[in-house]
Every structure is written in C-alpha cells, then in structure tokens.
C-alpha cells in the first residue's frame, strides 16, 4: 500500500452522501439521550455495533464479497486494526467524557473531529484548497469558535460546582475527537484495497467483540416499545451514517466531507427544536445566545464555501 487514495471526482454524489451523514449524526444524539434513560451506555453501543456488523455482513455475503481481506497484506491488516481500535476508542472516550461534563459541551467539543480530519486530508493525502476555500475554512472555524464560546459559557455555569470534572471531561472529549480523525483517515486509505462496506463490516465486528464482555444483553428485554424503537433507530443510524460517510470519502476529498460534517451541531439544534415542539416532555430546548446564533450563521457560510467553491475541474 505505497500509493495514496484519490477521490473519484463525483463531487455531487459525495456532497449528497456527506449531507446524509450529517443528518444522521444530528438526530442520533437525541435518540441516544432518550434511550440512555432505560439502557446503560456500553450495552447500547455494543448493540449498535452488533446490528451494524450483522447487516453489513449479510449484505456482503449476499453479493459474494464477504471475503477479500487477504488482499490487505500484513500492513493493510494492521491499518484495519488501527481503524477499528480508533473508532472504538472514540466511543469509549466520548462515553467517559460525558460522565464528567455536560452532554451539550461534549457534543460541541466532539465537532473538533471533522476539523482534525480536514487537516489530515490536507497534510496526509495532499488535498489542496483554493484561496477562497481557505477563507471559507477560516470563516467556518471562527463561526464554530463563537458558537462553542456561547455554549461552553453555559456549560461552565452548569459545571461550576465541579470545575475539575469539567476539565477532565472536556479533555476526554477532545481525545475522542482526535482518535476519530485517525480512524477516518485510516479508513480512507483502506479504500485502496477494500470496499467501504468491507472495511466497515470488519470494524463493526471488532468493536462488537471488544465490547461484548462489558455489555448486559439481558437489559434489552426490559425496554418498553418506545425505547426499543429508538434503540433500533440508533442501530440502523450507525449503518446508514457510516456507510454514507465511507462512500463520501470514496468520491470526495476528506477536507470537503469534513466541512459538511462540521455543520452537524447546527442541524442538531434544528432537530432538537422540532422534537421539543412535538413532544415537549421528551427533550428540553437548546439555549443559544446572540454570539451563538452569529457563530452558527458564519459556520454555515464557511462550510458552504469550503464544500462548493472550486468544484469545477479536478479538485485536489
């Protein structure tokens, strides 16, 4: 595996897949928050990986593509193992971080992941930006900074009684973002030898096996119908989101995909507003100040600039 993966150039398809991924990840925290009222985090995560592994495995088997892993060689197999461990690490560090800080703060800090992936795409895969796209990236970062500042200020108030816990939790979330970026770049390189579904199937299976000893499968039988349907959505969300994400990387540059994914917290705010309006008792509304809304607008504008400018001709 001496050469580096290059995107197919089908940027419209890559953009559509990136938007699908962002929509899935924007609604996932809402479902997870509701399911966590009735199920522990480890069992929930294990079930998501298990269902994802079974679905992708069945899909590959039906098409005679379940094999092919020997083509990786030792170096490729090592990279696949690294990708699996990094994604699992992302889940573990995120769960630990949520225990020590507020869910809102955790959701915001984890958005460092797509920005770290963008830097990796530029420096590892040699993806290039035009001048207008660098300006767009600066606007995106500035907008997210304002948005983070507005939300973190409120999180600090909530965590005032345990300031040490806030710092520890935030550090764990940042670590979760870092290992996710490593996973994303490793998966992109693995597309040189395997399809995106083959890569994901192996990663899902590895993660499910690793979490199995710490999960409590019997707890699934205690769920009521509402929580059971929400759990199923969380599991299917994993398949759809990461499937779309992997295919997006095959057709579009990692730095462009990451720019779209950076808008996920903004989409999540909209989803929270809709859920709160329909079922007020289920979810509290988001509290956003003036700087937060300004930052949100700048982030959307910056993301659009990074994603869409320079699309004519060969990108990167």
Instruction: Give the domain ranges of the chain.
Output: 11-308
SS (H, E, C) 65-92: CCCCHHHHHHHHHHHHHHHHHHHHHHHH
CA torsion sign for 305, 310, 314, 316 is negative
List the pLDDT tens digit at each of the 316 positions of the chain. Answer: 445 555 556 667 778 888 888 888 888 878 887 888 888 888 988 999 999 999 999 988 888 877 777 777 788 888 888 988 998 888 878 877 776 766 556 666 777 777 777 778 777 777 666 777 788 778 878 887 887 777 676 666 655 655 556 678 778 888 998 998 899 888 878 877 777 788 888 888 988 998 999 999 999 999 999 999 999 998 998 888 877 877 887 777 766 777 777 777 777 778 877 887 787 767 666 677 788 788 878 877 776 676 566 544 333 3
Residue 204 vs residues 28, 76, 94, 126, 127: alpha-carbon distances, Å: 17, 17, 17, 29, 28
Angle of helix 112-124 relative to helix 254-261, nearest 10 degrees, comes to 170
Whether the CB-CB separation of 292 and 283 falls below 8 Å is answered with no
Taking the C-alpha atoms of residue 135 and residue 170, their distance in angstroms, rounded to an integer, is: 28
Residue 81 vs residues 78, 93, 196: alpha-carbon distances, Å: 5, 18, 15
């Amino acid at each position: 595996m001496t050469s580096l993966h290059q995107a197919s150039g089908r940027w419209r398809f890559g953009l559509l897949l990136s938007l699908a991924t962002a929509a899935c990840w924007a609604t996932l925290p809402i479902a997870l928050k509701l399911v966590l009222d009735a199920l522990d985090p480890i069992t929930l995560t294990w079930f998501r990986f298990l269902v994802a592994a079974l679905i992708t495995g069945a899909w590959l088997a039906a098409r005679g593509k379940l094999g092919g892993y020997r083509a990786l060689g030792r170096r490729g197999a090592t990279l696949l193992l690294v990708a699996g461990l990094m994604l699992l690490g992302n889940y573990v560090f995120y769960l630990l971080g949520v225990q020590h800080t507020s869910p809102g703060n955790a959701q915001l800090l984890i958005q460092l992941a797509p920005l770290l992936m963008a830097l990796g795409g530029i420096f590892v895969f040699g993806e290039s930006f035009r001048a207008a796209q660098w300006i767009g990236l600066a606007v995106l970062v500035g907008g997210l900074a304002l948005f983070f500042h507005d939300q973190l200020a409120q999180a600090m108030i909530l965590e005032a009684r345990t300031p040490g816990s806030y710092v520890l939790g935030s550090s764990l979330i940042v670590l979760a973002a870092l290992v996710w970026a490593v996973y994303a770049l490793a998966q992109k390189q693995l597309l040189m030898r395997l399809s995106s579904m083959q890569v994901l199937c192996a990663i899902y299976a590895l993660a499910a096996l690793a979490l199995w000893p710490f999960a409590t499968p019997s707890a699934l039988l205690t769920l009521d119908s509402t929580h059971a349907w929400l759990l199923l959505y969380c599991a299917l969300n994993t398949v759809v989101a990461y499937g779309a994400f992997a295919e997006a990387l095959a057709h579009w540059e990692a730095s462009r995909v990451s720019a779209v994914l950076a808008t996920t917290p903004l989409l999540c705010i909209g989803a929270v507003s809709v859920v709160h309006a329909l079922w007020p008792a289920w979810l509290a509304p988001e509290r956003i100040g003036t700087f937060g809304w300004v930052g949100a607008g700048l982030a959307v504008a910056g993301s659009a600039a990074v994603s869409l400018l320079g699309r004519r001709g060969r990108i990167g």
